[in-house]
């Protein structure tokens, strides 16, 4: 398959943004197709999108796949119409600020990142379900790096989900809001869910200790999943758990602070009642073995 080299010019992306075009993908297919040179589907352009351009997957629920490295100004998935970006093994997408997954017109935006795939959302913020009455879905088995804020389900009637599968890593370099765009001031939007599965990792730079997970939203930490956050967030994590805003498939969480690294780590652990039952069953089993 012919590859279109767009170049990875990270330092000039912000300057180039001012001169870029908004390019929509017609139909479904691989990233290297150009409808603008006579194909029946592809980017509606005679040249491939580059570091200055805004790219959109929003053509009747289409899916655009990427399996090599390229750079754009920003990506918009499911904006005005539903659509999907699917980053395959070996694919790397670099984008600057203003990236959206689901926005406007009751549509659904979906971002899929396979193992071996990477999305770098550099600068500013990224939104998953960034307006009223939309759905945003992100599923990460590879790596999602967000240099700025992550806002999820910010509008009324919206919903957002981020699932981190085994081996997946999501890094958020600024603040986070589940069900809000600004934890300290903005009203509550729709429900937002982050689920960290076994051997998945969510690394957070910051959260608001009371406002980053709004009513109806939840951070699920499943057995073997790990969440880290800068600073001493032990009390805040336990408060969120007590309010049902952090949940665990084992029934409880353990938050520990490492002062040397200035980092709090949160994992799922069995609740005390479960540990007591396990201990009782273990003692019964030991007695049975001794009697036999």
Q: Each residue of 217-269: pLDDT tens digit?
A: 999 999 999 999 999 999 999 999 999 999 999 999 999 999 999 999 999 99
pLDDT of residue 219: 98
Q: Quick check: 148 pLDDT over 50?
A: yes
Give the pLDDT band of residue 11 (cuts 50, 70, 90). Answer: very low
**Residue 290's pLDDT band (cuts 50, 70, 90):** low
Query: Over the chain, what is the mean pLDDT?
Result: 90
Tokens describing residue 154: 């910010």
Question: Quick one: 184 and 89 in the same domain?
Answer: no
Token pair 């980092």 in the structure block, residue: 263
Distance, in Å, from the CA atom of 213 to the CA atom of 216, rounded to the nearest integer, reads: 8
Q: How far apart are CA 178 and CA 144, in angstroms?
A: 17
Decide: helix, strand or coil at residue 171: strand
272 and 187 in a common domain: yes
Q: Is 277:251 a contact under the CB 8 Å cutoff? A: no
Share of the chain above pLDDT 90, in %: 83
Residues 196 and 113 in one domain: no
Residue, of 38 and 252, whose pLDDT is higher: 252
pLDDT score for 12: 37
Say yes or no: 192 and 89 in one domain: no
Over residues 178-184, mean pLDDT: 93
- 13-23 pLDDT, tens digit per residue, is 343 344 699 99
Whole-number pLDDT of residue 3 = 39
Of 123, 146, 165, the domain-final residue: 123
Given a contact cutoff of 8 angstroms between Cβ atoms, the answer to whether 43 and 54 are in contact is no
- The DSSP call for residue 279 is H
Summarize the confidence of residues 80-104 as an average pLDDT. 97
112 belongs to a structural domain: yes
How many alpha carbons fall within 13 Å on the CB side of residue 243? Answer: 18
Checking if the pLDDT of 10 tops 50, the result is: no
Whole-model pTM: value is 0.88
pLDDT tens digit string along 50-81? Answer: 999 999 999 999 999 999 999 999 999 999 99
187 occurs within a structural domain: yes
Q: Is residue 56 part of a domain?
A: yes
Whether 117 maps to a domain, the answer reads yes
Final residue belonging to a domain, choices 56, 90, 123: 123
What are the tens digits of pLDDT across the range 203-230?
999 999 999 999 999 999 999 999 999 9
For residue 108, being part of any structural domain is answered with: yes
Determine the Cα–Cα distance for residues 129 and 102; give it in Å rounded to an integer.
5
Task: Please say which residue of 65, 91, 123 terminates a domain.
Answer: 123
Burial of 186 (0-12, 13-18, 19+ CB in 10 A): middle
> Is residue 19 situated within a structural domain?
yes
Question: Of 233 and 285, which is predicted with more confidence?
Answer: 233
SS3 87: strand
List the domain range (segments joined by +) for residue 56: 1-123
Task: Please give the pLDDT value at position 124.
Answer: 84
Q: Is the pLDDT higher at 67 or at 1?
A: 67
Strand duo 226-230 + 263-270: pairing? antiparallel
What Å distances lie between residue 241 and 85, 164, 236, 279, CA to CA?
33, 19, 9, 25
Domain count, the chain: 2
Residue with tokens 């700025």: 148
Give the C-alpha separation, 76 to 85, whole Å. 9
Does 133 fall in a domain?
no
pLDDT value of position 289: 53
Residue 132 located in a structural domain: no
Q: What is the rounded distance in angstroms from the CA atom of residue 54 to the CA atom of residue 71?
A: 10
């Amino acid at each position: 398959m012919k590859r279109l080299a767009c170049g990875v010019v990270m330092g000039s992306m912000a300057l180039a943004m001012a001169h870029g075009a908004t390019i929509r993908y017609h139909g479904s297919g691989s990233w290297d197709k150009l409808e603008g040179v006579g194909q029946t589907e592809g980017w509606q352009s005679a040249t491939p999108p580059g570091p200055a351009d805004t790219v959109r997957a929003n053509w009747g629920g289409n899916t655009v796949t990427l399996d090599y490295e390229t750079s754009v100004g920003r990506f918009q998935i499911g904006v005005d119409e539903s659509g999907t970006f699917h980053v395959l093994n070996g694919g790397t997408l670099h984008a600057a600020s203003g990236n959206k997954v689901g926005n406007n017109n009751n549509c659904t935006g979906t971002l899929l990142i396979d193992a071996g795939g990477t999305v770098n959302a550099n600068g500013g913020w990224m939104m998953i379900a960034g307006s009223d009455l939309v759905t945003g879905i992100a599923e990460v088995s590879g790596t999602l790096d967000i240099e700025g804020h992550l806002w999820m389900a910010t509008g009324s009637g919206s919903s957002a989900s981020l699932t981190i599968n085994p081996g997946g890593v999501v890094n958020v370099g600024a603040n986070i809001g589940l069900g809000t765009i600004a934890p300290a001031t903005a009203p509550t939007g729709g429900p937002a869910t982050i689920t960290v599965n076994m051997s998945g990792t969510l690394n957070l730079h910051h959260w608001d200790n009371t406002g980053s997970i709004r009513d109806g939203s939840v951070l699920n930490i499943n057995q073997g999943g790990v969440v880290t956050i800068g600073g001493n967030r032990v009390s805040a994590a336990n408060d969120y758990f007590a309010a049902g805003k952090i949940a665990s498939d084992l029934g409880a969480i353990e938050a520990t602070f490492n002062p040397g690294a200035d980092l709090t780590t949160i994992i799922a652990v069995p609740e005390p009642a479960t540990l007591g039952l396990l201990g009782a069953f273990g003692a019964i089993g030991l007695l049975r073995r001794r009697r036999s």
